[in-house]
Amino acid sequence: MNFEKIIGHENIKNQINTSIISGMFSHAHLIVGEDGIGKSLIARGIGLKLLGKPYDREYADLIEFKVPDNKQTIGIKYLVEEIIDEINKKPYEGNRKVIIIYEANKMTVDAQNAFLKTIEEPPQGVFIILLCEKLENILETIKSRCQIHKLQRLTLDEMEKFLKIKYSNLSINEIKAVTAFSDGIPGRAERFIEDESFKEIRNTLLSILLSMNNKKPREFLKYEDFFLKYKNNWQETLTWLLSFIRDILVYKETGKEELIINLDKINELKELASLFSFSSLNDIIEIVNKTRQKLERNVNPSLTFSTMLLNFLDI
């Protein structure tokens, strides 16, 4: 992997690249960002560059640690016996070793406290890279000993470039739809393209919208099973639903297909544009946003989704 060819995060890449070349790269780093945003790519890219390796494959001195199987956290025993033990071993091939720790926010407080001295003064030539989605569960004493890099979502142009390179078989319409869905997170786009469940989500959401005018509560409420099936992906599900509503509103307003995000579903969207009024579509947006707020507050998903569906029927 060529570090410079990683798409996006230009400021952070330039800063890291400059510090490595100048020999000023610090020994401990925290890379922060949402799931799928590219933390592991950046971390491995750093590791390969530090070790002088041109290809992304397994190397004896590039070691990754994750939360152990069947565990929810990285405890002090695993930290001391596995991670710190490995850090204190001499490099195998050269004079450098890179340690990458995934989900560092899942290290227990005791483990983080036990890690302080190692983070502050690792052996010569050892670089430690911690990855996490949020900084809240990282102790201030750990953060103060690390250089922190916060990854931002990719721009629309960067997302399109990423998709064209990785999925050259996608049509322009598909790239446009996936770019809108991914919301600047490459990993989310990858899941959509490679996971058949996301196609089912889109198709079912359109069926729900098309069924809303039938006013058959018993039939309609069966869609609760669909939302519960994908309750762990509720953010993506509601994002797609809102993207369809957005497209319907745009088409009703302008009649221009080129402004539609989900252009691969244009026939269904045209039909829905004829079924719903502007007022109804705005009501749907309000209901979906209230549903999102409830799920963010950890309200019972079954109750939340059934309430949403009932509110849809009242439109």
Q: What is the pLDDT along the chain (315 residues), one digit of tens a residue?
A: 567 789 999 999 999 999 999 999 999 999 999 999 999 999 999 999 999 998 889 999 999 999 999 899 999 999 999 999 999 999 999 999 999 999 999 999 999 999 999 999 999 999 999 999 999 999 999 999 999 999 999 999 999 999 999 999 888 888 888 887 788 999 989 988 888 887 899 899 999 999 988 767 888 989 999 999 999 889 889 988 999 999 999 999 999 988 898 888 999 999 999 999 999 999 999 999 999 999 999 999 999 999 999 999 988
Beta bridge partners of residue 74, listed in sequence order? 107
**Structure pTM?**
0.77
Q: Look at residue 196 in the predicted model and tell me its pLDDT.
A: 82
Residues 6+ apart with CB under 8 A from 279: none
* 2 neighbors 46 (Cβ within 8 angstroms): no
* pLDDT in the model for residue 84: 97
The number of angstroms, rounded, from the C-alpha of 151 to the middle of its chain's C-alpha atoms is 11
- 233 neighbors 201 (Cβ within 8 angstroms): yes
State the pLDDT at residue 229.
Answer: 94
pLDDT value, residue 1: 58
- Counting other chains too, the contacts that 264-267 makes at CB distance below 8 Å and 24 or more residues apart are 264/171, 264/173, 264/174, 264/177, 265/177, 265/202, 265/206
The domain defined by 195-313 folds into Zinc Finger, Delta Prime; domain 3 (1.20.272)
Domain with CATH 3.40.50.300 in the chain: 3-150
Q: How far is CA 86 from CA 94, 170, 292, in A?
A: 15, 43, 43
Under CATH, to which class is 3-150 assigned? alpha beta
- Which residues of the chain does CATH 1.20.272.10 include? 195-313
